Amino acid sequence: MNLNVEHLSVSFGEANIVQDVSLRVSNKQFVGLIGPNGCGKSTLLKSIYKVIKPRQGDVFLSELNVLKAGPKAVAQKLGVVGQFNELSFDFTVREMIAMGRTPHKGMLETDNQEDAELIAAALRKVNLEGHADRSYNSLSGGEKQRVILARVLAQQPEFMILDEPTNHLDIKYQLQILNIVKKLDIGILAALHDLTLAAEYCDYLYVMKEGRVAACGKPEDILTKELIGEVFDVACETYRNPVTGALGIAYLQTR
């Protein structure tokens, strides 16, 4: 399933927050969206997954016209791990994850054995088997984040959007979540803040600055000290990590 975002623009009043952004995720790529705070990453993602209405532009998931399709048709294909996961009403962890099955159900259809197995498998995958009956609101930020991922796993989407999925997570779970997502073998578009993790996990990166795409390409081609200095306003040197061989970034003092 491919994602095509075409000339998307979002405005709040007079402020043009996302300006004529086009991007593509094809062939089950893991594509990262990076850029400084406030550059418009979340707004772009929310307009792709229909929480915000764009001023202009189109979004296609393969043949599906996302902005014109109904929510259920989109939810059958697209899973979303958003940035803030607070709830006014309390549910158990199991109930939260069961919500992932809703797009695949008829109006009054209840959960069956297959749903129960998918929910249990999702709980196992994020290491929260023992937490199924806990109240969601009582969980730590990192545990909540993993429940939201488990809900999306139970949803069995063909494409996934993640907005800073490693927020709140310690390094073990940052790596675990990125490994789980990477192994799903579906197209992924994820906003990420950690540039070395973005370089390690992403096949391709889009760099946003002030609402526009400032650069795009393979991580090793575009994550240069010049681009990082220009977009994030920090001085750095890039290097090959001698242990992993991955791209390393040594941050120097802020300019």
Ligand X SMILES: Nc1ncnc2c1ncn2[C@@H]1O[C@H](COP(=O)(O)OP(=O)(O)OP(=O)(O)O)[C@@H](O)[C@H]1O
Query: Site for ligand X (CB under 6 A): which residue of 1, 3, 39, 202?
Result: 39
- Closest to 32 (Cα-Cα) out of 223, 207, 221, 226: 207
Q: Which of 3, 21, 34, 41 binds ligand X (CB under 6 A)?
A: 41
**Rule CB under 6 A: is residue 37 a binding residue for ligand X?**
yes
CB of 240 to ligand X, least distance (A): 28
DSSP 127-192: T-GGGTTSBGGGS-HHHHHHHHHHHHHHH--SEEEEESTTTT--HHHHHHHHHHHHHT-SEEEEE-
Pick the piece of the chain touching ligand X (CB under 6 A) from 37-45, 178-186, 216-224, 227-235. Answer: 37-45
Pick the stretch among 40-48, 87-95, 131-139, 227-235 that binds ligand X (CB under 6 A): 40-48
Of 42, 47, 176, 238, which one interacts with ligand X (CB under 6 A)? 42
**Measured distance CA(190)–CA(49) in Å, rounded:** 12
Tell me, rounded to whole angstroms, the distance of Cα 192 from its chain centroid.
Answer: 8
For residue 224, the minimal CB distance to ligand X (Å) is 21
Binding track, positions 43-72, relative to ligand X; x by CB under 6 A: x-----------------------------
CB within 8 Å of 230: residues ≥ 6 apart: 209, 214
Contact 55, 14 (CB under 8 A): no
The residue among 79 and 211 lying less far from ligand X, judged by its C-beta, is 211
Footprint of ligand X (CB under 6 A): 12, 17, 35, 37-43
